[in-house]
A = this chain, B = another copy of it.
Amino acid sequence: MFAVERINIIRSYLREHGKLDVHSISKLLNVSEVTVRRDLEKLEAEGSLTRLHGGAILAEPETLPESREATEEERREEEDLEEIARVAFLMVRDNDVIMLTNGSIALRLARKLAGRSGVTVLTNDIMAALEVSSQNANKAVLLGGSPDAESKAVFGSLSEANVQKFFVNRIFVQVDGISEQLQLTVSSQEKAALIREALACSEEKIILCEAARFSRNAFYRLGPLSLASKVITNTSVQESYKTRIFAMDLQLFTSINAFEGGA
């Protein structure tokens, strides 16, 4: 048994049980307790666990056992979302009127835009609108409509009518899935309808989608990826998608480096 195997076993044991004690692990792996302690030392250094007298527990003792795994997953997802929001932020120019469709990225982008003057933000995302308007310098417009308590956004015919009143330089549309055939999908009928109206009123159209949502479909079809001219996702997106999107003459952005390199 190699050391890395041993450490991996300890890792998975810890993921499963949430805690461990040196003695049991020593017997389980048939090594001395010193060795186990040395392994725990390494794992603590990399932040995977917290050592304590007699054993160790998973780092972040505050979380419930079931939410613990979700937290790791979520952290990754959050990093992905942040990355996309960063790239999107760099695309915004002074005096832009931009539209944000509701979603987790809209809020993040709104946070960055809140500190920036000379940009007007139109959105159906309630939290994003509040975030932008929290700094007075900037102007935000929240579309009217029927609120959805879950997504904290407004939809419906009023929203669609409202969005037509504005001329938008740049629209950022977060989709819920991109199919194998590069079809954009979202999770509700109202969202799809609103996005269609919004796209019609906008100059530059930019799709936002996490790499993890490629090859996944939500229920409502929005249309082909070619509706837009730019796509922002994560660096970890599959190569096959990259090449196919380039072939369609769309610009694909996957990180700040790629952006500065000019894609």
CB of B147 within 8 A of CB of A133, answer yes
Instruction: Scan residues 1-56 of chain A and give those whose CB is less than 8 A from a CB of chain B.
Output: 2-5, 8, 19, 21, 50, 52-55
A203 to B181, CA, bound (A): 53
A224: interface (CB < 8 Å)? no
A143: interface (CB < 8 Å)? yes
Number of interface residues of A (CB under 8 A): 38
Tell me which of A4, A8, A21, A144 has the highest count of chain B C-beta atoms within 10 A of its own C-beta.
A144
**Chain A interface mostly:** mixed
Nearest opposing residue in chain B for A133, CB measure: B147
CB of B140 within 8 A of CB of A143, answer no
A19 to B9, CA, bound (A): 15
A90: interface (CB < 8 Å)? no
Given A2-B54, A3-B52, A162-B158, decide whether A146 and B152 contact each other with a Cβ distance below 8 A. no
Given A3-B52, A4-B61, A133-B146, decide whether A141 and B165 contact each other with a Cβ distance below 8 A. no
> Chain A residues in contact with chain B, CB under 8 A?
2-5, 8, 19, 21, 50, 52-55, 57, 61, 126, 129-130, 132-134, 139-149, 152, 154, 156, 158-159, 162, 165
* 10 tightest A-B CB contacts, nearest first: A144-B144, A134-B149, A133-B147, A144-B162, A129-B147, A143-B144, A133-B149, A142-B147, A130-B147, A130-B149
